[in-house]
Amino acid sequence: MNPTNTPAGKYVRVEHVALRGVVSASPKTEIRNQDLTDRFSPELIEEIGKMTGVRTRRVATEEQTTSDLSEAAARALMADLGWEPDSVDAIVFVSQTPDYRLPATACALQSRLGLGTHCAAFDVNLGCSGYVYGLWLASKLIDGHAVRRVLLLAGDTSSKLVDPQDRATALLFGDAGTATALEFDATASPTSYVLGTDGRGEKNLIIPKSTYRGACGAGDLPESNPDYLYMNGPEVFNFTIRSVPMMVNAVLEASGKSVNGIGCALFHQANAFMLKHIAKKLKLPAEKFPLNIDRFGNTSSATIPLLMATLDDKAPLAGDVVMAGFGVGYSWAAAHLSLNTMTVCRWIEV
């Protein structure tokens, strides 16, 4: 089927791709909000906790990178599925916290995982929408018959990007790395995607002093440290409330489904207040709209697979589901897919 433009974004349908498994890896170090009373007052911590929903987060050590977490997840997933390293045809690494400016972290992971030299490997620089975009990219490689097996590694160590004194971000972001296995399967149910971008939101989630542009774009931002992540919370909230319900409704309509016809909705864990507002607009019952932001915070591109791996029977992780990623860019992506082919879904600590 040819792609179709909709008011919510581009609709794309993918055939013959089975999601075989997901493993998500979190650092062992756990930080509680109340551990930060040396920086913020107890009253402020409680206020922010109520708004964001975050109570604890997992934070990488100084030496621990996103690739370390994703590598551990990939090793566990390949072992669980019985995938030989030489059987993997491509590796896609989605992250905004790579190991280096160059080379691509996916290339290093190809070597560290012992994958064959025939394996294609590349990085994708996306955050909040990154997992769903990664699923689409990996699936199109398979649907186009370029490859048969793909490892999608998505994650971020966003805690390394935030100003420890910034109340808007210091209590919000956690770290995680994930691995998802996708494979050609002629009998697999089709997957529908809606994808979109509005780059006018560029400066509402940004590290102003980055790579080559320097801090040139920071002049019209409120006073903040340009070396750290800046977030315009109200503008991001407005974008999310405006865009996400339309995107989810579009992917359901394109799939011929309704909210009642899905097992659960797996959304990027951005902010609990915002997510509950979206669920209300979509008329999603609580049992179909799981959250884990209270335990892990916002882990950027890792939130959806981390949510899948930590549901603990809180929602039916089978049959048809809707996924939605949205945020930095602005960038957004939703998917309607079947999880009936998934045989592995678990969480590990590293």
- Between the CA of residue 258 and those of 10, 11, 209, 224, 337, what are the distances in Å? 19, 17, 44, 43, 13
Give SS3 for 250: helix
Q: Which of 181, 152, 187, 153 is nearest to 83 (CA)?
A: 181
- Between the CA of residue 221 and those of 103, 163, 170, 239, 267, what are the distances in Å? 31, 15, 18, 18, 29
| 301's tokens | 């591109």
Distance CA 191, CA 321 (A): 10
| 187's tokens | 């009998």
Q: Which of 323, 310, 336 is nearest to 267 (CA)?
A: 323
Q: How many CB atoms lie within 10 A of CB 84?
A: 12
Active site residues: 128, 268, 298
**Are 333 and 133 within 8 A, CB to CB?**
yes
Structural element, H or E, at residue 336: strand 331-338
